C-alpha cells in the first residue's frame, strides 16, 4: 500500500512538472487533482510528505484562485503577498525553509496577480477588503476551521481585515510592511515609484518575468491610483475601524529601514490592536522576510507555536 501511494505521488509530481513547463496558463485546474494528491500524501511516511509543493487552482468568488501548499503540520498558515505579489515572488524563502513538520503553508496569488489570471486585476475602492474575502473563502473551501494569517504589505492589510471579520477562524496574525491608513506623505512616495524606470533592476526583474512589461507597468500605475482612491474617497482610511475588532494574537514586525512604510504605521497598529507585540529589525527593509528569512522564519515559527 505504501509503495503504491508513493508511486502515485511520484506520478502526480511528474504531471505537475509537465503542466508547469507546458501548460502554465491552465495549471492544475481540475479539482480532482487536489483530492487525489491528498489521498496519496496521507499514506506516505512523515519525511516523505514534507518536501513537495502542490500548485493548484480553485474556484473562489467566481475567479480561479491559484495557491501553493507545502508541509505536513496540523497548524495551517495562510501566506498573503504584497502588491502584485505571488506565491513565489514573495514567499519562496518561506515555502522552502519554513518548519514543515508543525505547519502546513498555503500561499495565495490574489485575483489578477501571479497565476490567478485571467481575469486581469481590477481595482474597486475596497480592493484589499475583497482580497480578504477571497482568502477566507478559500479557507472555507479547503474545510479549514482554524488558520493563522501571515501577511506582507497589502497582504498584511487584507490579513487584518480578515482577522477582524472572522475572529472565530483566525487564530494568530503576523503582519509586516502594513498600514491601516494613508497619509499625503505616503502618497507622495507612492507617486515617486509609479514610474518603473525609477526602480532598481533587481526590484523590477521578478515582476517583469512574472507579468511582462506592459501588464506590470499598467497594473502598478493602477495600484498607485487605487491608493489615491483610499485617500480621496475614504479620507485615507484603509482599515482603521477593523483594528479594534481583531481578537487574534498578533505579531507586528517592522524593518527600521523600510522606506515604503515609516515607523508611525506599525506604532499605530501596535497601539490599536489589543495585546499585539511589535518586533523591530534594525537592518530590515520592506522585504525583510526575504533578506533575513532565517531570523524571520524563526521568529514567526516561535510566535505561532506559543
Determine the average pLDDT of the residues in 203-211. 94
Q: Which of 153, 154, 158, 276 is catalytic?
A: 153
d(CA 63, CA 24): 17
C-alpha grid cell, residue 306: 506559543
Query: What percent of the chain has pLDDT above 90?
Result: 81
Q: Is 286 a catalytic residue?
A: yes
Q: Is 258 a catalytic residue?
A: yes
d(CA 244, CA 84): 28
Helices 31-41 and 2-22, axial angle in degrees (round to 10): 140
Nearest of 144, 133, 199, 200 to residue 169 by alpha carbon:
144
Nearest of 33, 25, 139, 134 to residue 77 by alpha carbon:
139
- Starting at the edge strand found earlier in the chain, the sheet holding 75-80 runs 53-60, 63-71, 103-109, 75-80, 147-152, 170-176, 249-255, 277-281
C-alpha grid cell, residue 107: 500561499
pLDDT at residue 40 above 70? no
HEC-encoded secondary structure of 113-159: CCCCCCCCCCCCCCHHHHHHHHHHHHHHHCCCCCEEEEEECHHHHHH
SS3 content of the chain, % helix, strand, coil (to 5): 50, 20, 30
CB count, 10 Å around CB of 264? Answer: 13
Q: Is 39 a catalytic residue?
A: no
SS3 104: strand
Average pLDDT, the chain: 89
Interval 245-293: pLDDT, tens = 999 999 999 999 999 999 999 999 999 999 999 999 999 999 999 999 9
Quote the pLDDT of residue 52.
80
d(CA 273, CA 253): 13
pLDDT at residue 18 above 70? no
Ranking 27-41, 126-140, 171-185, 262-276 by mean pLDDT, the lowest is 27-41
What does DSSP assign to residue 244? Answer: G
Quote the pLDDT of residue 129.
98
Quote the pLDDT of residue 12.
47
Determine the average pLDDT of the residues in 17-28. 39
User: For the chain, how far is it from start to end, CA to CA, in angstroms?
Assistant: 37
Half-sphere exposure of 86 (CA within 13 A, CB side): 20
Ranking 2-6, 22-26, 143-147 by mean pLDDT, the lowest is 22-26
Residues 6+ apart with CB under 8 A from 25: none
d(CA 41, CA 247): 34
Quote the pLDDT of residue 306.
86
Interval 74-102: pLDDT, tens = 999 999 999 999 998 999 999 999 999 99
Interval 290-306: pLDDT, tens = 999 999 999 999 999 98
Nearest of 106, 190, 193 to residue 144 by alpha carbon:
106
pLDDT at residue 50 above 70? no
Interval 101-152: pLDDT, tens = 999 999 999 999 999 999 999 999 999 999 999 999 999 999 999 999 999 9
The residues that bridge with 148 in the sheet, in sequence order, are 77, 172
Query: What percent of the chain has pLDDT above 70?
Result: 83
Count of helix runs (H) and strand runs (E) in the chain = 11, 8
Quote the pLDDT of residue 26.
36
- Cα→Cα distances 21→15, 17, 24, 27, Å: 10, 6, 6, 9
Q: Which of 258, 265, 276, 289 is catalytic?
A: 258
Burial 222-248 (b: 16+ CB within 10 A, else e): bbbebbeebbeeeebebbbebbeebbb
Quote the pLDDT of residue 3.
40
Quote the pLDDT of residue 78.
98
* Degrees, nearest 5: CA angle 277-279-285: 140
Q: Which of 56, 254, 286, 289 is catalytic?
A: 286
pLDDT at residue 48 above 90? no
Amino acid at each position: 500500500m505504501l509503495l503504491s501511494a508513493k508511486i502515485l505521488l511520484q506520478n502526480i509530481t511528474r504531471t505537475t512538472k509537465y503542466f508547469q513547463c507546458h501548460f502554465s496558463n491552465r495549471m492544475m485546474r481540475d479539482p480532482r487533482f487536489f483530492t487525489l494528491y491528498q489521498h496519496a500524501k496521507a499514506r506516505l511516511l512523515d519525511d516523505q510528505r514534507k518536501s513537495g509543493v502542490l500548485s493548484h487552482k480553485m474556484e473562489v468568488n467566481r475567479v480561479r484562485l491559484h495557491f501553493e501548499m507545502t508541509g505536513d503540520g496540523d497548524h495551517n498558515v495562510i501566506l498573503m503577498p504584497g502588491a502584485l505579489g505571488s506565491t513565489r515572488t514573495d514567499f519562496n524563502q518561506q515555502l522552502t525553509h519554513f518548519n514543515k513538520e508543525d505547519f502546513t503553508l498555503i500561499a495565495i496569488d490574489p485575483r489578477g496577480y501571479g497565476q490567478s489570471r485571467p481575469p486581469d486585476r481590477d481595482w474597486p475602492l475596497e480592493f484589499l477588503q475583497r482580497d480578504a474575502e477571497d482568502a477566507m473563502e478559500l479557507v472555507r473551501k479547503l474545510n479549514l476551521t482554524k488558520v493563522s494569517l501571515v501577511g506582507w504589505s497589502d497582504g498584511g492589510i487584507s490579513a487584518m481585515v480578515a482577522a477582524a471579520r472572522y475572529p472565530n477562524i483566525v487564530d494568530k496574525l503576523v503582519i509586516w510592511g502594513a498600514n491601516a491608513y494613508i497619509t499625503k506623505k505616503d502618497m507622495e512616495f507612492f507617486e515617486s515609484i509609479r514610474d518603473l524606470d525609477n526602480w532598481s533592476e533587481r526590484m523590477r526583474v521578478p515582476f517583469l518575468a512574472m507579468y511582462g512589461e506592459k501588464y506590470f507597468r499598467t497594473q502598478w500605475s493602477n495600484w498607485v491610483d487605487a491608493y489615491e482612491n483610499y485617500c480621496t474617497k475614504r479620507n485615507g482610511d484603509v482599515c482603521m475601524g477593523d483594528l479594534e475588532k481583531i481578537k487574534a494574537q498578533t505579531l507586528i514586525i517592522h524593518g527600521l529601514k523600510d522606506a515604503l512604510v515609516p515607523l508611525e504605521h506599525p506604532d499605530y497598529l501596535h497601539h490599536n490592536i489589543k495585546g499585539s507585540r511589535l518586533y523591530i529589525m534594525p537592518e530590515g527593509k520592506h522585504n525583510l522576510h526575504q533578506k533575513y528569512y532565517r531570523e524571520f522564519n524563526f521568529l514567526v515559527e516561535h510566535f505561532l507555536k506559543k
